[in-house]
Amino acid sequence: MRKTLCSAAFVKPLLASISCCFLALTSVSCSKTSQDGVEASSENTYTAEEKTKDWEEFSSKPAQTFIQECKSNYLKIRDFVGTLESETYSGNALLEALNTLEADIDKTIGKASLYANVHPEENVRAAADACEQHFVGLISDLSLSQSIYKQIAAIDMNTLPAKIDKRYVSNMLRDFKRSGVDLDEEKRKTVKQLKDEINQLGQAFYKNAREDVRSITVPKGYDLSGLPSDFIESRTNAETGEVTFTTTYPDYFPVMQYAHNDELRKNLYMKFRQRGYPASKEVLKQLLKKRHELATILGYPSYAHYATEVQMIKTPEKALAFINSIDKIAKDRAESEYNTLLAKLRETFPDATFVGDWQKTYLDELIKKEKFDVDSQEVREYFQYEKVKQGIFDLIQTMFNVEIRPWETETWHKSVSAYEVIDQGETIGHFYLDMHPRAGKYQHAAAFSIQGGIAGKQLPVSALVCNFPSGNALMEHTQVETFLHEFGHLIHGMFGGKNKWISHSGTRTERDFVEAPSQMLEEWVWNKETLRLFATNTSGETMPDALIDKLRASRDFGLGLFTRHQMFYAALSLNYYSKDPNKFDEQTLMEALQAKYSNFAYVDNTFFQYSFSHLFGYSAVYYSYMWSLVIADDMFSEFQKSGMLNQAVAQKYRQTVLAPGGSKDAGEMVEDFLGRPYSFDAFSKKFH
């Protein structure tokens, strides 16, 4: 059974509710007369109080150092705002100043967003959360600043030297209007308050999901058959013999996949699906209410209308049509696959009338082992973490003719490593790998942008955050696939880090496109030529071609079930934000949508929605994972024609899709690469 997509593509979670380019990272209120003679308003949010008011105090020195650094940056940025307010700029000089300001804020909030999710000290995570909140206030100020809006609106587009400059300005003007800058003063105050409340709620929602790690402990002698011996040993209490499994990914997925004991799987499944409950029950309700209120004040029927407006898909009606069309494509195949699972289950439980959600992955594993002769435990013998890491480095170096080498710099934890990317002798970016689980750390897999790149001014800096076993420990093939997926986001940030405007840097593209480059790169973990780079066992033997053939043959079993279940998640995301939250119950609607779109019935006393963190970051547009997969399949067809490691195709792809970042519409970039508009043909063929 395919994994649930859960990566985050360079998202700064607290910024996700603000659909802006420049506005997404900075906040400015300017009071001056522009060179074009347009009178700016007299508003000025920078007051003496900002310099003297107290910020949060923390008991630990590292946390206090962090918050003081944040405050210092905050005040410097506010001073820069004062300069912008008091001096006169030409149109281009204004844009350059705003770009610089945006970059300064990006550095602080990028680090804060990362540390809030990964720092080993709880107090530092709290300080990073607080830092983010202060900068969210800056963002809210700018998004409602009539003075800066009027100055930008006064710029004569005909004087701008390039198409990307016109795009930069037109997107800013669009996003100012979407933020409510044209509303009356009272409504602008309400909008600002709502944005602050939304981001506080979102922060709480993420925190509850991130820190709610549950576990089950079983006594010595408990039936753990099917689980790998090294997996059991690493979770065994040496004194009591008890074995503890947590709801973190490295524990959860192996139990779901290998454990013969149905009771064990169900018990851990229940714990996994109860994360965030009841802590986030009211948090989610208020988040939905506040976003709906914000959308209606801004003139939209729902938050889904607001969120989809700037995506490739444009409207929630089109998003729903897409969800239903994909569900229809997958339905027949899903029914057949479900019946196969049920037949397999009845070999153990003859009276079974349905397949439980906690049983699907285990049954899928059994069927692949019998039907395709694929044993996932045999497969994992070829995926030691360190070899996988080096193999992925080798793959990227080969495809794109770059070098990845160690970068000597400080890190936030001893397990974190750092690297730089070299292109023809030039350093083009830096990145960190934080790849192993620890207490308080983000529990999924994500790529975080710490600093966006700007041509000639600063390099992109990113961090890959995952939860894989370390050292010589063995990885599942699906984990290798996730590693490569997230690395796809990382190289997108590196190769797209030479744009003029930071709002065009790296992965700052439409949300329903941003996953496509990473989804396409997943294909390389199914290719013999690629796997030979790193898939070796402890004896140094390369994964046999026969095993790779069997792995590939088994790949698409479960595709229909996976796709329909993903449409359940997409429908949940869209429906929660398409309706008035005062008129539905989140639990009732979730159960109804699961019954409509998934072959697997809701399990009593589970509350999936409260740990579904994408409900904040992606809001209504979780459909985008499948939408971007359609595009990824189409782009991959070019590599299928010419060879997986064809450098000419890889370079064309880099230049037309990755390097432009957000400087073009996604559809235009894909057409530049394919030589035609994208189509659904490659995706649809997988279901026939």
Residue 95: pLDDT over 60: yes
Residue 156 falls within a domain, yes or no?
Answer: yes
What tens digit of pLDDT does each residue of 405-417 get? 999 999 999 999 9
Q: Is the pLDDT of residue 116 over 60?
A: yes
Report pLDDT digits (tens) over 356-395. 999 999 999 999 999 999 999 999 999 999 999 999 999 9
Total tally of structural domains belonging to the chain: 4
Nearest Cα neighbor of 363 from 603, 522, 602, 600 is 600
Residue percentage of the chain with pLDDT more than 90: 82
Q: Is the bond preceding residue 278 a cis peptide, omega within 30 degrees?
A: yes
Q: Which of 7-11, 88-92, 436-440, 652-656 has the lowest mean pLDDT?
A: 7-11
**pLDDT at residue 38 greater than cutoff 50:** no
Confidence of residue 568 (pLDDT cuts 50, 70, 90): very high
**Cα–Cα distance, 296 to 4 (Å, whole number):** 32
9 beta partners: 447
Q: In angstroms, rounded to a whole number, what is the distance separating the alpha carbons of residues 131 and 553?
A: 49
Tell me, yes or no, whether 47 and 129 share the same domain: yes
How many whole angstroms separate alpha carbon 379 and alpha carbon 537? 9
Same domain, 542 and 658: yes
Q: Are residues 286 and 267 part of one domain?
A: no
Average pLDDT over the chain, rounded to an integer: 90
Residues 157-172: pLDDT tens digits? 999 989 999 999 999 9
CATH of the domain at 25: 1.20.1050.40
The answer to whether 421 and 430 are in contact (CB under 8 A) is yes
Same domain as 73, residue 139: yes
Please list, in sequence order, all residues whose beta carbon lies within 8 angstroms of the beta carbon of residue 407, skipping any fewer than 6 positions away: 418, 419, 420, 430
Answer with the one of 174, 208, 242 that is the final residue of a domain: 208
Confidence of residue 90 (pLDDT cuts 50, 70, 90): confident
In tens, the pLDDT along 142-153 reads 788 888 888 899
Residue 452 · residue 506 · CB < 8 Å:
yes
Q: State the pLDDT confidence band at 609, using cuts at 50, 70 and 90.
A: very high
Instruction: Tell me what the mean pLDDT of segment 594-613 comes to.
Output: 97
DSSP symbol at 581: G
Work out the percent of the chain whose per-residue pLDDT is above 70: 92
Q: 197 and 170: one domain?
A: yes
Q: What are phi and psi of 7, to 5 degrees?
A: -80, 160
Evaluate whether residue 632 is within a structural domain: no
Q: Is residue 380 part of a domain?
A: no
Of 51, 175, 202, the closest CA to residue 113 belongs to 202
Nearest to 306 by CA among 322, 321, 319, 325: 319
Q: Please indicate, yes or no, if residue 489 is contained in any of the structural domains.
A: yes
Single-letter amino acid, residue 36: D
**Segment 537-549 mean pLDDT:** 94
Last residue of a domain, one of 178, 208, 238: 208
Q: What angle do CA 300, 306, 310 make, to 5 degrees?
A: 135
Q: Is 14 in contact with 89 (CB distance < 8 Å)?
A: no
Residue 7: inside a domain:
no
pLDDT 10s digits, 277-304: 999 999 999 999 999 999 999 999 999 9
Cβ neighbours for 412, distance < 8 A, ≥ 6 positions apart:
115, 118, 119, 120, 434
User: Rounded to whole angstroms, how far apart are CA atoms 679 and 668?
Assistant: 13
How far apart are the C-alpha atoms of 41 and 32, rounded to whole Å?
8
Residues 393 and 290 in one domain: no
Same domain, 515 and 655: yes
Same domain, 321 and 397: no
- DSSP string for residues in 454-512: BTTTB--EEEEE-----TT-B--HHHHHHHHHHHHHHHHHHHT---SSGGGSTT-S-TT
- The pLDDT value recorded for residue 29 is 25
pLDDT of residue 28: 25
- Rounded to an integer, the average pLDDT of 581-591 is 97
Same domain, 529 and 674: yes
- Pairs from 34-39 (Cβ < 8 Å, separation ≥ 24): 34/88, 34/89, 34/94, 34/150, 34/151, 34/154, 35/88, 35/89, 35/90, 35/91, 36/91, 36/151, 36/154, 36/155, 36/156, 37/154, 38/150, 38/151, 38/153, 38/154, 39/150
CATH label of the domain that carries residue 307? 1.10.1370.10
Q: Is residue 634 part of a domain?
A: no
pLDDT at 615: 97
Which position has the higher pLDDT, 439 or 10? 439
Across 71-85, 121-135, 306-320, 505-519, least confident range:
71-85
CA-CA distances (angstroms) from residue 517 to 6, 276, 528? 15, 31, 21
pLDDT of 47 > 90? The answer is no
- 5 domain residue, yes or no: no
Non-local (6+) Cβ contacts of 385 within 8 A are: 435, 468, 469, 470, 471, 472, 473, 474, 475
Stretch 587-613: mean pLDDT? 97
Q: What is the predicted pLDDT for the residue at 30? A: 26
Q: What is the mean predicted confidence (pLDDT) over 509-524? A: 96
Residue 124 sits in which domain range? 14-208
Cα gap 198→66, rounded to integer Å: 24
Nearest to 587 by CA among 610, 611, 614: 610
Residue 275 CA to residue 266 CA, distance in Å, equals 15
d(CA 534, CA 543): 9
Least confident of 17-21, 113-117, 225-229, 410-414: 17-21
> Which residues are CB-contacts of 593 (< 8 A; sequence separation ≥ 6)?
568, 571, 572, 575
> Which of 115, 104, 49 lies closest to 81 in space, CA to CA?
104
Alpha helices in 298-359 (DSSP H): 303-308, 316-346
pLDDT in tens, 446-488: 999 999 999 999 999 999 999 998 888 999 999 999 999 999 9
Cα–Cα dist 268/289, whole Å: 32
Q: Is the pTM of this model over 0.85?
A: yes
Residues 655 and 517 in one domain: yes
Q: What is the pLDDT of residue 486?
A: 97
- Same domain membership, residue 159 and residue 36: yes
* End-of-domain residue from the set 158, 185, 208: 208
The reply to whether 481 falls in a domain is yes
Instruction: Give the C-alpha distances (Å, rounded to integers) separating 404 from 439, 450, 494, 524, 688.
Output: 29, 18, 11, 19, 40
What does the pLDDT read at residue 50? 58
523 and 667 co-located in one domain? yes
Instruction: Give me the DSSP letters along 598-643.
Output: -SSPPPTT--GGGG-THHHHTTT-TTHHHHHHHHHHHHHHHHHHH-
Question: What was the pLDDT predicted at 83?
Answer: 80
